[in-house]
Chain A
Amino acid sequence: MKPIAYKKKRSERRSILLIGCILLFYPVYQFLSHRIPKKPERIELPFNPTSTTFLIQDRFIVFSNPTKTWALSRKCTHLGCKLNYREKEDYLECPCHQSRFSTSGKVLRGPADKQLKHYKVTRNLDKESITVIIT
Chain B
Amino acid sequence: MTIIRTSVRTFKILPWGSWSLVSLYLSLFSGVIVGLQYNLQAPYYSSASLDLTVPFGMFFRSLHFYSSQLFFLFGVAHYIAIYDKVSELSTEQRIYLVLTLPVALLLLFTGYVLRADTTGFSAGMIAESIVVSVPIFGTFLNNLLFSIEANGLQRVYLHHVITFDILFLILAWQHLRKYTVPPHNHLLLLGLTVLFCSVVAAPLDPDTLGQLYITGPWFFLGLQELLRYIHPFIAGVITPMALVFMLLLLRRDARNCKLLLNLTLIWLTSYGVLTYLALYGHG
Contacts of B118 in A (CB 8 A): 82, 95
> When chains A and B are docked, how far (Å) is the Cα of A80 from the Cα of B126?
6
Is residue A29 contacting chain B, with contact meaning CB distance below 8 A? yes
Tell me if B227 and A79 are in contact (CB < 8 A).
yes
Is residue A16 contacting chain B, with contact meaning CB distance below 8 A? no
Q: What is the predominant secondary structure among interface residues of chain B facing chain A?
A: helix
Nearest chain A CB to B281 CB, angstrom units: 11
- Known contacts A29-B140, A35-B150: does B211 contact A81 (CB below 8 Å)? no
Number of A-B contacts (CB under 8 A): 64
Interface size bracket, B side: 20 to 34
> When chains A and B are docked, how far (Å) is the Cα of A33 from the Cα of B132?
11
Contacts of A96 in B (CB 8 A): 122, 126, 214, 216, 224
Is residue A18 contacting chain B, with contact meaning CB distance below 8 A? no
Is residue B267 contacting chain A, with contact meaning CB distance below 8 A? no
User: What is the size, in residues, of chain A's interface with B at 8 Å between Cβ atoms?
Assistant: 23
A59-81 vs B, Cβ < 8 Å mask (1 yes, 0 no): 00000000000000001001111
Nearest chain B CB to A79 CB, angstrom units: 4
> When chains A and B are docked, how far (Å) is the Cα of A33 from the Cα of B136?
10
Is residue A97 contacting chain B, with contact meaning CB distance below 8 A? yes
Question: Which residues in chain B, 102-151, are within 8 Å of chain A measured between CB atoms?
Answer: 118, 121-122, 125-126, 128-130, 139-140, 143-144, 149-150
- Known contacts A35-B139, A81-B122: does B128 contact A97 (CB below 8 Å)? no
Partner of A111, one of B121, B212, B213, B229: B229
Is residue A2 contacting chain B, with contact meaning CB distance below 8 A? no
Contacts of A32 in B (CB 8 A): 139-140, 143-144
* Beyond known contacts A79-B126, A79-B129, A80-B128: 11 more, CB 8 A cutoff: A75-B149, A79-B130, A79-B227, A80-B125, A82-B121, A84-B210, A86-B212, A95-B212, A95-B214, A96-B122, A111-B229
Could you list 18 examples of A-B contacts with CB < 8 Å? A32-B140, A32-B143, A32-B144, A34-B143, A35-B139, A75-B125, A75-B149, A79-B126, A79-B130, A81-B125, A84-B211, A93-B212, A95-B122, A96-B126, A96-B224, A97-B228, A111-B227, A111-B228
B residues in contact (CB < 8 Å) with A: 118, 121-122, 125-126, 128-130, 139-140, 143-144, 149-150, 209-214, 216, 224, 227-229, 232, 282
